[in-house]
C-alpha cells in the first residue's frame, strides 16, 4: 500500500492504470474509519485491480457552526485499517491543493433530491459534497465508486450528478453497517455521551416499527410518521429534526406508501446529530 498526497502523482498513476486496462475502484471518505467504511472497501476490493481510498475532511460541505474543526481525525489508524483490507493507494490530498485560494467552482444539484431531508437544515452541504466528489473523480478516474446507503440522500445526489454530467463512473451502494444494538455506524457517534449512546438505538427501532406497520398494511405515510415520532419522543431526550417517507429513487414525497420507499430521519442527542434510514419494497 502506498500513500499519495500529490494530485499530479495520483492522476499519473490512474492514467497509467487505465492504459494498462486495470480496473480502478474508489472509496471516498473523510477518514476516522469504522466497520462501515471498511465494508465499502471490502465491496470494492474483489471488483478492481487498483483500489484507491481517499481521506479528506471536506471544508465546503460543512456549514456555519458545524463541526469541521472538531471532526475526528486519526490518519495513522486509518492507514493501518486500509492496509488490513488490502487497499492499494490511500490518497490524502492537501486542502490548499484541492481548494487553492482562488477556487470558485461549485457543482449545484437542483431539484427535489436537494430540497428534502438534510437540505433544509444544511444549506450548501450537497453542493460541497458534489463538488469534492466531482474533483476526486477527475483526479482518480475510477471505473466505479462505492458509497454507503446510510447517507441515502448523498447517494441519490451523486447518482444524479454522474448521470447528468455523463461521468463514466458506476456508483455502487453499500448497505448500512450497524452496531450490535442497531445504531448505524458513524464517525460522529464518537461525540455521544455514555448516556446518549445507550438510548441512540431508539432511532433504528423506530424505523423497524414503521416497517412493521407497512407490512401489516398501513400505507398512510402521515400515520406512520406520527407513530415514529411518538415512539422516539417517549424513549429518550431526542430533538427530532425531520422524519420523511419518500420514493427511494427520486426522493419525491408520497402520501401512500407503494413500490420502493425510504423512511429517513434525523435527530439530535445533545449536540450530536444522528441520521438513519431504511429502504422498504412493497
Q: Could you give the C-alpha distances from 155 to 189, 229, 268, in angstroms and in order?
A: 20, 25, 22
Q: Hey, which residues are catalytic here?
A: 37
Strand segments (E) across 85-197: 89-91, 144-148, 170-174
Burial of 257 (C-beta count, 10 Å sphere; 0-12/13-18/19+): buried
Question: Using alpha carbons only, what angle is made at residue 83 by residues 79 and 87, rounded to the nearest 5 degrees?
Answer: 100
Angle at 21 between CA 20 and CA 26, to 5 degrees: 105
- Rounded Cα distance, 102 and 161, in Å: 24
Amino acid at each position: 500500500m502506498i500513500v499519495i498526497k500529490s494530485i499530479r502523482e495520483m492522476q499519473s498513476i490512474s492514467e497509467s492504470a487505465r492504459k494498462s486496462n486495470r480496473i480502478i475502484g474508489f472509496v471516498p471518505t473523510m477518514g476516522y474509519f469504522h466497520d462501515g467504511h471498511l465494508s465499502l472497501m471490502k465491496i470494492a476490493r474483489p471488483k478492481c485491480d487498483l483500489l484507491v481510498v481517499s481521506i479528506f475532511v471536506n471544508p465546503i460541505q460543512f456549514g456555519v457552526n458545524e463541526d469541521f474543526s472538531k471532526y475526528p481525525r486519526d490518519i495513522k489508524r486509518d492507514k493501518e485499517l486500509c492496509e488490513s483490507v488490502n487497499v492499494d493507494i490511500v490518497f490524502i490530498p492537501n486542502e490548499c491543493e484541492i481548494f487553492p485560494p482562488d477556487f470558485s467552482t461549485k457543482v449545484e444539484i437542483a431539484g427535489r433530491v436537494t430540497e428534502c431531508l438534510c437540505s433544509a437544515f444544511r444549506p450548501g452541504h450537497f453542493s460541497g459534497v458534489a463538488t469534492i466528489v466531482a474533483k476526486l473523480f477527475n483526479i482518480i478516474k475510477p471505473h466505479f465508486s462505492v458509497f454507503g446507503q446510510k447517507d441515502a440522500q448523498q447517494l441519490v445526489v451523486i447518482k444524479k450528478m454522474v448521470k447528468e454530467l455523463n461521468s463514466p463512473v458506476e456508483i455502487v451502494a453499500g448497505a448500512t453497517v450497524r452496531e450490535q444494538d442497531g445504531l448505524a455506524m458513524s464517525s460522529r457517534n464518537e461525540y455521544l455521551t455514555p448516556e446518549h449512546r445507550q438510548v441512540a438505538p431508539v432511532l433504528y427501532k423506530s424505523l423497524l416499527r414503521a416497517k412493521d406497520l407497512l407490512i401489516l398494511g398501513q400505507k398512510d405515510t402521515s400515520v406512520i410518521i406520527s407513530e415514529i415520532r411518538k415512539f422516539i419522543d417517549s424513549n429518550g431526550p431526542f430533538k427530532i429534526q425531520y422524519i420523511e417517507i419518500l420514493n427511494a429513487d427520486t426522493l419525491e414525497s408520497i402520501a401512500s406508501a407503494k413500490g420502493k420507499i425510504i423512511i429517513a430521519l434525523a435527530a439530535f442527542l445533545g449536540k450530536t446529530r444522528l441520521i438513519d434510514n431504511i429502504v422498504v419494497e412493497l
